[in-house]
């Protein structure tokens, strides 16, 4: 029996900035609520990994996951793909990369 590995596409800060500016992505922050409240990428919506339900994600949007540094967002991709969703992109650098680069934070 073969097990397929999740397909993960790493996006960088420029990809995220462009996608948010042109409205082509919905950035889903999978950090916990207290992390999101302390600062998040403008336009990102909160969907904590600890209570992650892939079925509640919008079906009509290009979903890109983000977290602090790319670990939880990759895990969210695995969960979404296991649920049969065609989602494969995440922000590899995450919020730490965004904030360190001086990008706007809410």
Q: Which residues are catalytic?
A: 67
- Give the containing element (helix H, strand E) for 80: helix 71-82
Q: How far apart are CA 51 and CA 34, in angstroms?
A: 14
Distance, first Cα to last Cα, the chain: 47
CA distances from 5 to 8, 9, 26 (A): 9, 13, 24
């Amino acid at each position: 029996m073969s097990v397929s590995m999740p397909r993960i596409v790493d996006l960088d800060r420029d990809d995220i900035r462009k996608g948010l500016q042109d409205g082509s992505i919905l950035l889903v922050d999978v950090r916990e609520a207290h992390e999101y409240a302390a600062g998040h990428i403008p336009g990102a919506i909160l969907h904590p990994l600890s209570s992650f339900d892939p079925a509640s994600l919008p079906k009509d949007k290009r979903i890109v996951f983000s977290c602090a540094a790319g670990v939880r967002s990759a895990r969210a991709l695995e969960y979404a793909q296991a649920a049969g969703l065609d989602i494969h992109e995440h922000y590899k650098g995450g919020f730490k990369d965004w904030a360190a680069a001086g990008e706007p934070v809410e």
